[in-house]
Amino acid sequence: MLRLDLSARKALSLGKDAVFRLLVLMMIFLGWLAGMGAAGLLGLDEIYHQWQLNQKSHVSVYLMPDSTPRQIETLEEALIIIPGVRDIKRLDQDSIRQLVQPYLDDRTSLPLPKILDVKVVEGLDRAAFDAQVHSLFPLAEIDDARAMLKIVADGVQLAQTAVFAVASVIFIVLALLVSLTVRSGLQAQQRSLAVLQYVGATNGFLTLLVMQQVLQRAIIGTVGAAILGAACLWGLQESYDSMSTYLTYQVWMAIIAVPLALMVVVMVSAYWSAVTTLSQRQVTADGITS
């Protein structure tokens, strides 16, 4: 990039424009907001995937406490041949006690149900599975987390779409703000622009003056937004131990990448605004362009 003399930079100082002076703060705030949104989106995705991996391949069958080992064996033999069933594990009494303990309180004398943990794959014939269970154990309960997973998946997708929409709005708003700022800044400095052109400044040179000022502020805003976002994530991680599982490398990268992407949007918007504003300037009768 062409190095610019300080006098040339001072000659066309957009910093005089009040909105332009706020560009750094706007970038920090909007960059942080979009970065946190993206990090939240990725974190939510990670939570969902970890839970999904844990839940989607298991169906639990709760049988009455008085079910005999022979009846259970018969059921196992009937279920294992259903398409989609891979394995059946009978939970021992200690595991069941641990599982149901929170619901029993101090009623330890209550008989415990029998539980089958059925490992399944995609394509399970759920109707045949249910029919087989209920034909042998009419009062059995079948707990299939996959239905819930579908609802949660829809919810996650909705949240992701909402975050994406908000982030897009942030990007558009910032692009418009920068465009407006550059345009109003150049409009406010018609005399300086005219003098610079009288001494030989080309539109390319003037655009460079604008871009350099925008770039300086954009870098500060981007770094500020990334630092603020990283500090927030670090605070969350320190406050909640369980968070560190979900704060993956991608989440941390999002906190940096989103403000960087915002900087690119700002620079493109500034460039386009400067080029169009300068090329549209018209000479008026008093010799000052507008």
Partner 1 sequence: MITFENVSYHYSNAEKAAVEKVSFELEEGSFNYLTGPSGAGKTTLFRMMYMDMTPTKGRLTVFGRNVSAMSQDDISLMRRRMGIVFQDFRLLPHLTVKENVSLPLTLTGPMSQQQESCVDEIIDWVGLGHKSNILPGFLSGGEKQRVAIARAVVNRPRLLIADEPTGNVDASMGRRIMHLFTELNKQGTTLLIATHDRELMADCPAPSIIVENGRISKLHAA
Residues that bind partner 1 (CB under 8 A): 2-8, 10-11, 13, 16, 191-192, 194-205, 279, 283, 285, 287
Q: Which amino acid is at 201?
A: A
Residue 4 CB, nearest approach to partner 1 (Å): 7
Cβ nearer to partner 1, comparing 163 with 278: 278
Interatomic CA distance for residues 289 and 201, integer angstroms: 14
Minimum distance from residue 283 beta carbon to partner 1 (Å): 6
What 144-148 contacts at long range (C-beta under 8 Å, 24+ apart), as own/partner pairs, is: 144/59, 144/60, 145/55, 145/56, 145/58, 145/59, 146/55, 146/56, 146/59, 148/55
Name which of 162, 290, 274 is nearest 211 in CA terms: 274
Please report which helix (H) or strand (E) contains residue 89, including its range.
Answer: strand 85-90
Cβ-based nearer residue to partner 1, 9 or 56: 9
Task: Yes or no: say if 151 and 25 are a contact pair by the CB < 8 Å rule.
Answer: no
**Cβ at position 201, least distance to partner 1 in Å:** 6
- Give min distance, CB of 195 to partner 1, in A: 5
CB of 192 to partner 1, least distance (A): 6
11 vs 225, beta carbon nearer partner 1? 11
How long, in residues, is the chain? Answer: 290
Q: What angle do helix axes 190-198 and 203-239 make, rounded to 10 degrees? A: 130
Residue (13 or 237) nearer to partner 1, CB: 13
Q: How far is the CB of 40 from partner 1 (least distance, A)?
A: 45
- Choose between 5 and 105: whose C-beta lies nearer to partner 1: 5
The nearest distance, CB 14 to partner 1, in angstroms, is: 12
Give the nearer residue to partner 1 in terms of CB position, either 179 or 189. 189
Which residue lies nearer to partner 1 by CB, 51 or 205? 205
Q: In what order do the strands lie in the sheet with 85-90?
A: 85-90, 114-120, 58-63, 141-144
Q: Which two tokens stand for residue 90?
A: 């009978």
Classify residue 57 as exposed, middle or buried by CB count within 10 Å of its CB (0-12, 13-18, 19+): middle
